[in-house]
Structure formats: structure tokens, C-alpha cells
Amino acid sequence: MGTTSIHTHGCRVSDEWMIRGMRAVVLENAALRVTVLLDRGAEIVELRHKPSDIDPLLRLPVAIHDPARATGSIGGTVGTFMDTYLGGWQEIAPSGGPTNTHRGASYGQHGEVSLLPWDVMVLVDTPERVTVRCSVRGIRTPIRIVRDMTIEGTSPVLRLTETFSNEAGEPIDIMWGHHIAYGLPFLSHGARIATSARAIEAHTAAADGPNRLSRNGAHGAWPMLAGPDGTPFDTSIVPAHADAHGSDVFYLSNFADDTAWYSLYSEHHRLGVAVAWDATVFSHVWQWHEFSRTGGFPWWGRVHAFALEPWCGYPTDGLSAVATKGNQRILQAGEVIETFLTVALYQEQATPTEVTRTGDITF
């Protein structure tokens, strides 16, 4: 038996939605509407700021498919994640990046929990506050993730509190991340980043591509990084759609406090997204650019995407490669990680100087 709020004012919740045959849960108040596709890894496919009617999340021009029912003509070499990718916000574990095999378990692109159906339970349902619990267990890895999602009052803030459990009888290696991608129309006229990160590093690729924005493996003090010819450029500027080019990945780190944060603000839309998280768990942010230049599968030259993703583990090379470098998280048998992540939407035009774990922003 599902739950749909009886009251019609304040915070509301319903876990009785169906979208293309998949279970969905919707949380909303006067400022925010959040839609979660439970049967697609409990991915957040809508984070709508109601006053402006803008959803800053990436939404690709593709149909919504159920990963359990969408079958390609042949198995893909990168797994099935890319076959049904919509954009939006996925939770990813226990591997981030390409296909790899680690300790006998083979993973496709971005691990396994983002493709699994998650369980749901409504914990709180009042006009003042709603909380939904989503949970999942891995298939190839004995892990369990429990995510509580809360909105309160008339605030445009979504708060996540999470636990990640190792249910194995031995230590395990993990990568764990929140794959939050932004797109059009939010980024049509560009945006600017602010963050508590103090260091930035360009991805090191074995074969450097022609569309790189940065010099392979370059390091710098955020936000400056060396371009392909060595000329420094400002990574805090997201160019307008008409001017954007290139495809790249950077890694932000060395955050000023244990509560790390970033903001992404569109001056044209007068709308910003501020994200705060626990830097003792998610030690890096992956900054991914895909600006309509990569041809062929999976982007076909039509994707304008920009992501800022808090991660435990880096780089985006898959768990086996990351563990070889010692950059994975090791969970002891029975160990449980408790952590948080908060997203706040705002319209203040000033630049944030701090974002707290409760979503309060100082300008």
C-alpha cells in the first residue's frame, strides 16, 4: 500500500506515481518539486524550482526507458548504463567510470546500483516536513545504501542523509558518487562556479583526445588550470551554449572545511544551485564537460552537459584501476558510513561564500 499525502498544502509526498511502467516518488512544497524514479536506481529526474519553473538538471532528448526492459540489439561493451541514460542525478556504486573487473566482480559503466530498483518508504508526511527513505542492496557486491530525502516548509532545499553498509564478511573496496549533471535551458547563457575547493587536477588519459580543454594531467590552484598549449584558463566559468566546446574531466579537492560545497549560478535565469556535502566521505568533485563536440555513441554531437559530482574515490577509471592507485575507500566487514548531501536552489545574485549542511547560504 502506497502513501499519498491527504493534506493539500505545505509539503506533500506520494510514492504512488508510475512513469512508463516504473515506480516513482514525488516530494514537493511551494518552492520545490523533486521526482525520483525508483526503478531506475532511485535517480532524481526532476529538481524543479517552482517560482522560475526551471529544472537545472540535464535532460537529454531521449525517451525514458526502464533499464530492466530496454534491451539493445547486442550487449554493449560499456554495459547498459549509457543505453538508457537520461541526464539528471544518479547515485553510483561500487565502481565509477568504465567497464572493469575487480575481485572477481565485473561492472559495466558506473557500477550497479544506478540500474537497480530501490525500495521506498514514507517516514514523515506532514505539511511542515516530508521524508522518504529509499534503499537498495547490490547484486554483485554485498553493499546496502539507505538514503533519506527531506524537504521542509516552503524552503527550496533538499536534504539527503545516507548510510552505506558493507554486508560482507571481509573488507571491500568501493567508489561511491553522486552523478549530478546540469544542462539546458539552465546553462543556455552560461554559469559561474564558486566552491570551497582549493585544488584542481585535469584527468590523465592514456590517449589524449582532440577536444580536451586542459593539458593532460595538469594541476593547479582552483580555479586556474593549464590549457592544451599551456595557457592558463579559468575553470569557474561555464560558457554559454553558443560558445561552448570541448569534452573533459577535472577533479576538485582540498576543501577548506569538512563540510565542502559548490554553487553554480546562471545570471540570465537568476537561479543558482548550491550543494554541500561531507568531505570526509566525498573527498573529490568530478567536473565533467560534454559540450556538443563528441560524435558517435553515446553523444552523437548533440549533448550539452556539465556535471559537478561529489565522489569517494577518483579518477574516473573504474574501481580496479582506482584501487591499484590506492584511491578507493576500503570498508571493513560490517562497517557503516553515515553521511549527508544537501542541495539548495537560490535566486540571490551575490556569490556564495559558505553553504552549510542544512542548506543555509552565506553571500
Residue 308 lies in a domain: yes
Q: What is the pTM of this model?
A: 0.96
Q: How far apart are CA 172 and CA 158, in angstroms?
A: 30
pLDDT at 298: 85
pLDDT band of 354, cuts 50, 70, 90: very high
Domain count for the chain:
1
Instruction: Tell me the mean pLDDT in the region 40-49.
Output: 97
Residue 60 lies in a domain: no
Closest CA to 324 of 312, 333, 313: 313
Task: Tell me if 90 sits within 8 A of 41, measured CB to CB.
Answer: yes
Q: For position 297, which CATH number holds?
A: 2.70.98.10
- For 280-317, the pLDDT digits (tens) are 999 999 999 999 778 888 888 889 999 999 999 999 99
Residue 358 lies in a domain: yes
Residue 321 lies in a domain: yes
Residue 180 lies in a domain: yes
Task: Tell me if 309 sits within 8 A of 178, measured CB to CB.
Answer: yes
Q: How far apart are CA 359 and CA 19, in angstroms?
A: 30
Residue 255 lies in a domain: yes
Provide the domain limits for residue 196: 67-112+138-362
Instruction: Give Cα 311 distance to the centre of its chain.
Output: 9
* H helix and E strand count, the chain: 1, 28
Residue 94 lies in a domain: yes
pLDDT band of 191, cuts 50, 70, 90: very high
**How much of the chain, in percent, has pLDDT values that exceed 90?**
85
- For 205-261, the pLDDT digits (tens) are 876 777 899 999 999 999 999 999 999 999 999 999 999 989 999 999 999 999 999
Residue 132 lies in a domain: no
pLDDT band of 1, cuts 50, 70, 90: low
CA separation, residue 66 to residues 23, 70, 145 (Å):
10, 6, 21
Q: Which residues contact 191 (CB under 8 A, 6 or more apart)?
A: 182, 238, 264, 265, 266, 267, 306
Q: What is the DSSP letter of 270?
A: T
Instruction: Tell me the mean pLDDT in the region 53-57.
Output: 98
Q: In the chain, how long is the greatest CA-to-CA distance?
A: 61
